[in-house]
Amino acid sequence: MASEKSLAIVLRVVEFSETSCVVTLFSRDFGKIGVLAKGARRPKSPFEAALDLLAVCRIVFLRKSSDGLDLLTEAKLERRFRSASRDLGRLYCGYYLLELLRELTHQGDPHPDLFDLADHSLAAIDHGADLAPIVLWFEFAALRILGHAPRLDDCAECGGALPDLERIAFGQVAGGTLCQRCREGQRQIISVSREALCVLRKFNETSLEHGPPGLPDAVRGESRGLMQHYIAHLLGHRPRMHSYVATAAIRTAIRTGAVQVPGETSARGGGNSRPSSTP
């Protein structure tokens, strides 16, 4: 059994026995891995506080030769996600990044650039960055790294020029904007304003070294709606955190009254709505 080291983000912790956990990690060097953490639930755990959601830690694990779980032997906490006791909007955006990492990546498929992006984005979310641009920036960059970047400069079907109209069609199946001819007969079309499209192009092109470009309040709702539809289409289902993120990430826009998110009417968990029913 080879001993491996990496930095990792904790994606999920499931109780396995009285004292052990199965932990899903997104590691910088080995991608998504599932490890058994023996003794993690004991008071004097060898992993201490490292194995909590959203934590970044330095891990050592033993690879199993068969397809059993790898065995975690060490986890040292590098950074804890502190917004959990301060700001639910930040916590829920952090959860959303975890959900995307869980669902968009495959077991054992390393993407160090995606790890660095996630690490940086989580730190920014935790430390007070404006949520809407950082979440949208993460989404675009993650899709690009994983080969799902939408095409926004010309027609995603034929490569032809886009029409000179106020609203352009975005085809979820085609994975990008569409010309007049190609939009005919296409299903799952979202109409996007020219203004929003300009901003989305900047997000689509921005390099990982630069932070997120500016995101004007007026296009926040529209950008969020488009991205959420596109991601739900890619995954084949709507991510659990979408309704929470729609609330948290466009809060500023809601305050200015400039917003309307398609299909996001029942957002909850923002902090002040009383739960309607209980078991």
Partner 1 sequence: MTQLADSVVRMIDEFAKLPGIGRKSAERLAYHLLRIHKSEALALADAIRNVRENVHYCQTCFNLAESEQCGICLDPQRDPTQLCIVEQPRDLMALEQAGVFRGRYHVLLGRIAPLDGVGPEQLTIGQLVDRVAQGAIREIIMATNPTVEGDGTALFISNLLAEYPVTITRLARGITTGSILEHTNKEILADALVSRQKYA
Residues that bind Zn ion (CB under 5 A): 155, 157-158, 160, 179, 182
| Contact partners, residue 144, CB within 8 Å, separation at least 6 | 204
Q: Contact at 8 Å (CB) between 62 and 70?
A: yes
- Least CB distance to partner 1 at residue 81 (A): 6
Q: Which is nearer to partner 1, 131 or 199 (CB)?
A: 131
- Least CB distance to partner 1 at residue 54 (A): 6
Q: Which is nearer to partner 1, 53 or 71 (CB)?
A: 53
203 part of the interface to partner 1, by CB under 8 A: no
Q: Which is nearer to partner 1, 20 or 186 (CB)?
A: 20
Residue from 71, 84, 208, 267 in contact with partner 1 (CB under 8 A) = 84
Size of the site for partner 1 (CB under 8 A): 44
- Least CB distance to Zn ion at residue 174 (A): 9
275 part of the interface to partner 1, by CB under 8 A: yes
Contact pattern from residue 91 through residue 130 relative to partner 1, giving x for each residue in contact according to CB under 8 A and a dash for the rest = xx--x--xx-------------------------------
200 part of the interface to partner 1, by CB under 8 A: no
Residue from 66, 207, 266, 277 in contact with partner 1 (CB under 8 A) = 277
| Contact partners, residue 57, CB within 8 Å, separation at least 6 | 7, 8, 10, 50, 51, 75, 76, 77, 78
167 part of the interface to partner 1, by CB under 8 A: no
Q: Which positions from 22 through 81 interact with partner 1, judged by CB under 8 A? A: 41-43, 45, 48-55, 77, 80-81
88 part of the interface to partner 1, by CB under 8 A: yes
148 binds, among partner 1, Zn ion, none (CB under 5 to 8 A by kind): none
| Contact partners, residue 91, CB within 8 Å, separation at least 6 | 81, 83, 84
- Least CB distance to partner 1 at residue 77 (A): 8
The residue ranges that bind partner 1 (CB under 8 A) are 12, 15-19, 41-43, 45, 48-55, 77, 80-81, 84-88, 91-92, 95, 98-99, 240-241, 244, 268-269, 271-272, 274-279
